[in-house]
Each structure stands twice: as C-alpha cells, then as structure tokens.
Structure 1
Amino acid sequence: MQVLLLVCSVILMAVVFWDAFITVFSTHGAGPLTRWWTGGVWRLLLMIHHRRPIHRVLSMAGPVMLLAVVCVWYALLATGWVMFFCSGDALVVDNLTQEPANIEKIIYFVGTTLAGVGYGDLVPGRFPWTLWSNFAAFTSTVLLTTSLSYLLPIVAASLERMYLAQRIFGIGKTVPEFIVESWQGRSSGALDQYLLSLSAEVDRHAHKHLAYPILQYFHSADWKQSPGKAMLMFADAIFLISCGAAESARPPRPFIKLVNASIDNYAQLATAQAMLPGHIDSVNTEALRLDTLRKMDIPVVDEAEFDLALRSYAKRRGKLVALCEQDGWR
C-alpha cells in the first residue's frame, strides 16, 4: 500500500508538471489535463446556453477558468505531496513530542510547506525526508510563479481579440454594408489599404490561439466584439469581392492573396484547439449570392464560375461558422 501511494504520488506530480509545461511553454495548445477539464466545462455551458442564452455567464467563464487552471494545478500538486508523505511511517512528526502525524496533520504540513510558511510545529521525521520537504516547497514556487506569469498575457490577448473584432465591424456590421463602406469600385479603394493592416493583425491573433489555448473561452456578451462573428463576416465579404466581382472590378490580386492567406491561417490555427461541431463540412452558403453585388452595381462573374468558387470556399466557411458556435454565437 505504501509503495502504491509513493508511485501514484510521483505519477500525479509528473502529470501536473507536464500539463503545466505544455500549456505554458508549448505552442501546440493546452496540456491534455487542462484541455480535458476546461473543454468539458465549456461544453456544459454551451449546452445550457443553446437552450437559454447566458451570455453574461459565458463572458465570466474565461477569466474564472483561467484562475481555476492555476488552482487545479496547485491542488493536484498538494495531493501528490500528501500521498508522498503518507507513503511511509513517521515521515512527518510532531516537533515537540516526535509522534507520527496522522493524515489530517500531514495535509496541514503539506499546505504550510507548499505555501512557504513552515510554522515548525510539524517537521519531516528524518533524513532524507527533510530534503524532500525542501523540494516540495521548491516545486510549489516554480509552479505558481510560472502559472501566475502566464495570466497577464492572456488577459492582454483577450482584449486584442475584442479590438480586432471592433476594427472589422467598424467598417460594416454586415457583408453588404462592409462592401459598400470599404469598396469604391476601383483598385485604389479604401479596402485595399485596410486589408494590409488587418491581415497582419489577423495573423498575430491566430498564432495566439496556439500560445494561449484558453483564449477560446473568453466570450464577449456583445456580438460586435466577437472575433468569430467578425472573421466570418470579413471572410464572406472578401469572398464575394474576390470571386463574385468581375475581374475588372476586383481589388488587386496581391491584396486578395494576402488576406485570404490570413483568413486561412486563422481558420486553421484557431480551430486546432477548438471543440468544433461535426457539421463544418455541410455549412449553409445560401447567404452568399451574386445579387448582393448586383444591387451595388458591381459587375459580376458567370453563375457557374461563382458556384465553383463557392464550393471551394464552403470548407473554410464551415470552420469559421463552427468557431462562431463554439464562441456561443449562432
């Protein structure tokens, strides 16, 4: 039994540090433990949200889960050390009477040790357990310092998400409005210059989803600050302009190539850690029609050519629609 406790404690603490290392230092998303429980909580919230909207609750879920990640790591680390000091006889003793500590006192001893307080009423029984108690305090310091330094960049990144959405929706709230407000019907239109700055910002935002996977749980109660909805509208507008407008009425190819690459990058990286529904390949594209451009007196391509481009665009749009749903927006 004592050997089993020792082995379990070592495995548990190794899992905690591996999960923290992957989450904080890796650019491949969250660790398996963090991804499992945060994803489960978010799925549960979305199930409730789809029955009855709870945007305010969802907007608090991201910050709460961010703090909970640190608390879960610390709690599991403490559990591992409690199991470790319970794996032998008299590993922790009363400093005055030298009597072995029971389970309640060991929990108290581990708590004071990991917190760096060390009141001295309970101490390790003998060498080498004195060294292990020092190592326990060291592991706690490393874990808490690393994880707490991880919090502030995520908060800053969540604000950048809202800023990106506001920049896109600042031009127009819908696809027709976006095209009308930004496109002047010639290659030197305002949209050309706007694409350059937005493309770089979209790329930065996409890569932060890998560095900070918990960003996907930062929900805004205002749809005008939702990056998922903004990117979907932005991508639809660019698709209509680049594939629906006639060659003479399209923006220059380098601009379109650049912004499409940024949108593809966003769709790929943002969905790498997201919990996407299974219908992303059968997304509805009824809203994308050449009549939208005809009403603006923009010359359009042949219907057959547009339908071919639309089938190619459907897969990318499916990912963007799924990101909207994963963010709590239909």
Structure 2
Amino acid sequence: MNWSLFIASVLLLFTVAYDFFFTVISINGAGLVSSRLSGWISELFLNLNKAVNGRKVLNYCGVSIILSLIIWWIGGLWLGFYLLILSDERSVVTASTGIAADVSDKFYYSGYVLSTMGNGDFVPGSPGWQIVIAVFSFSGFIFITTAMTYLISVSSAVIHKRSLSLYINDIMTLNEEDRINCLYENAAEIRNMINRHNQNHFAYPVVHYFFSTDKKTSFSIGLWRLNALLTSIQNDSGHPSHKVMPLIRSIDNYLSTMSEAFIPKNEGNPGKNDDGSDLKKLQLIKLLNSDGWYAAKKEIL
C-alpha cells in the first residue's frame, strides 16, 4: 500500500464531495473551490468585456462556469478514485489472467466504473476492493444525476431573473404618471419576484454570472431604475410611499445578500459615502460594475 497516494486520494475525494454537496444541495451558496473558480472565470470574462466592443463575450460566462464546475466535480472524483486504486498494486486485476492492472489500465477503469460497473475486462483484486469499487460506482451515479438536477434549477433561476428584469423594464417604459400607478398596482408581485430571485441567488450564486447583453433583461439596470422611481415617490409628499415600503425592504434585503459575495462593502461611514450619496446608491453602482455595465452606467445614472 502506497500511503502517500492513499492519503492524497482521501483528501481530494473529501474536498470534491464537500464542495459538490455544499454547492448543489445545501442551498446556502457555493463551496469554497466552486466559489473561487466561478469568481476567477467571471473576472476573466469581465476583463475581456472591457477589451472588446459589445457584450457578446459575456454570453459565454455562465455556461463556461457551469462546464468548469462539472469538470471539477466529475474530474476530481475520477482523479481521487484513480489515486485510491493506484495506492494498492492489486486493487484491480485483469479478469482473464489475474495479473495486476497497470497504471493506464487503472486510469481507464477508474473512469469507466464511475458510470457503470465496468465491462468485465478488469475486476477488483480482493473482496475489500469489490466493496470500494461498488461504492464508487454508486457515487458516480449520484454525482451525475444530482449535477443534472442542479443544472435544471440554475436554468430555472436564470429564466426567472430575466423575466423579472423584463417585468421591471415594461413598467419603466411608461410615462411618469402611468409608471407610478402601475408600480402601485404591481408592487406586491414585484416584491415577491425579487424575494424569490434573492433566494435563488443565495442558493445558486452562479446565477449572478449569467450576464445579460441587453439592458431590457439586465436585472442590475432594472433595479437601478426601479430604485430611482421608488426614491422619487418617497421624496414626493403627494404619493403614498407606505404602499411601496415592503418593496423597498425587499430591495434592501437583496442588496444585503449581494454584499456578502459580489459587491464590496463600503468602508467608513456605513450610511453615507464620501460624496454624501447613501449606501444603497453605492451598492447599486457596484452591482452595475459587477454585472459588467461600466460604459452603460453613465447612461443610466
């Protein structure tokens, strides 16, 4: 038994399993590795967005992150299992001769067994390894099926985010009086949709990295415009602002969630920025930056 390989395999498998199940099942954000990997890839795409005209490159950010996470989870499981069976020379043997499988055969077998029990050309070398390999075959099935369920949930959350953005955009295209009246009529529904998006964002942080190339489907721009409308209502004594207070609180809760991971916290006075603007405005500007709207920000401020 090669104990160095054994310990390395156990550590890798534990890291992959914890990161996978925390990200996919816990509904409390992403694991450390998944979070860092997502952040690095998104930063790469945001830098590319600065270097090229248009935002088309951002179309591939969310997809690239999802594919990278799947490669990390499945590839890490494969590598960890490979190192585990590599730690024992007789962990896997050739079925016809009983000769120990070589390094390349074990790599092939470790990948094969994650989706099936193998095709019979190689078999476990002892009863103990039979149990271990059966467990890994079952683990591979769990990883693959759970990852597919995660993808469906993320897709649903992204669709909801874009639907919410379009909903807000439709209201913002009305004239001022109709816009305010429409907001009063739909404040409860918009609040519920924002709260749902907030929970989706908390459960599946990767949703943030599915950037929109169109302002109409960009939630950060829609939220900026919605907040501007709500601020004008609050500052106008002729409008009953108490009707939209639950909606304002839902926006505050969303920005609080975003501040945990995606927009830097303000330093100094927690209520005011240096230029006198309030914290919410600062958070919204940072949210726009995190969404890649560097140039468009000047057009909507």
TM-score, scaled relative to structure 2: 0.89
What CA distance in whole angstroms lies between the structure 2 residues aligned with 1:178 and 1:14?
Answer: 57
TM-fit CA distance, 1:180: 4.2
Task: Give deviations 1:111-141, integer Å, cap 9, x for gaps.
Answer: 1111205111111111211111111101111
What CA distance in whole angstroms lies between the structure 2 residues aligned with 1:26 and 1:326?
Answer: 25
Where in structure 2 are the equivalents of 1:129-140 lying within 5 Å? 129-140=129-140
Task: Give deviations 1:233-289, integer Å, cap 9, x for gaps.
Answer: 11122112203x2x2x12242x23212101101111233332x357x569xxxxxxx
TM-fit CA distance, 1:19: 0.6
Q: 1:290 maps to which residue?
A: none
Q: 1:212 maps to which residue?
A: 204
5+ long unaligned stretches in structure 1 = 184-188, 283-306
The answer to whether the Cα contact below 8 Å between 2:20 and 2:31 also exists between their aligned partners in 1 is yes
Q: 1:202 maps to which residue?
A: 194
Partner-residue secondary structure (3-state), 1:266: helix
Where in structure 2 are the equivalents of 1:237-316 lying within 5 Å? 237-243=229-235, 245=236, 247=237, 249-253=238-242, 255-274=243-262, 276=263, 311=276, 314-316=278-280
What CA distance in whole angstroms lies between the structure 1 residues aligned with 2:210 and 2:278?
Answer: 26
What CA distance in whole angstroms lies between the structure 1 residues aligned with 2:142 and 2:241?
Answer: 52
TM-fit CA distance, 1:63: 2.4
Moved over 3 A (4+): 177-181
What CA distance in whole angstroms lies between the structure 1 residues aligned with 2:91 and 2:33?
Answer: 30
Which has the higher mean CA deviation after the structures are superposed, 263-272 or 40-49? 263-272
Q: 2:298 maps to which residue?
A: none
Q: 1:64 maps to which residue?
A: 64
After superposition, the CA RMSD in angstroms is 2.2
The answer to whether the Cα contact below 8 Å between 2:117 and 2:137 also exists between their aligned partners in 1 is no
The residue type paired with residue 327 of structure 1 is D
Task: Give deviations 1:63-98, integer Å, cap 9, x for gaps.
Answer: 232233122200000000000001112211111222
The answer to whether the Cα contact below 8 Å between 1:29 and 1:273 also exists between their aligned partners in 2 is no
What CA distance in whole angstroms lies between the structure 2 residues aligned with 1:281 and 1:203?
Answer: 27
Q: 2:9 maps to which residue?
A: 9
5+ long unaligned stretches in structure 2 = 295-301
Partner-residue secondary structure (3-state), 1:123: strand
Q: 2:98 maps to which residue?
A: 98
The answer to whether the Cα contact below 8 Å between 1:178 and 1:237 also exists between their aligned partners in 2 is no
The residue type paired with residue 40 of structure 1 is W
The answer to whether the Cα contact below 8 Å between 1:281 and 1:318 also exists between their aligned partners in 2 is no
Partner-residue secondary structure (3-state), 1:4: helix
What CA distance in whole angstroms lies between the structure 1 residues aligned with 2:25 and 2:113?
Answer: 26
Partner-residue secondary structure (3-state), 1:114: coil
The residue type paired with residue 123 of structure 1 is V
Give the count of matched residue pairs.
290
What CA distance in whole angstroms lies between the structure 2 residues aligned with 1:205 and 1:157?
Answer: 7
TM-fit CA distance, 1:27: 2.9
Aligned-residue identity in percent? 26
What CA distance in whole angstroms lies between the structure 1 residues aligned with 2:48 and 2:264?
Answer: 16
Q: 1:326 maps to which residue?
A: 290
The residue type paired with residue 135 of structure 1 is V
What CA distance in whole angstroms lies between the structure 2 residues aligned with 1:150 and 1:166?
Answer: 25
Q: 1:24 maps to which residue?
A: 24
234, 247, 251: which is aligned to 2:226? Answer: 234
The answer to whether the Cα contact below 8 Å between 1:94 and 1:122 also exists between their aligned partners in 2 is yes
What CA distance in whole angstroms lies between the structure 2 residues aligned with 1:178 and 1:169?
Answer: 12
Work out which of the two has the higher radius of gyration on C-alpha atoms and give 1 or 2.
1
Where in structure 2 are the equivalents of 1:159-178 lying within 5 Å? 159-173=159-173
Partner-residue secondary structure (3-state), 2:123: strand
The residue type paired with residue 24 of structure 2 is V
Q: 1:143 maps to which residue?
A: 143
TM-fit CA distance, 1:190: 3.4
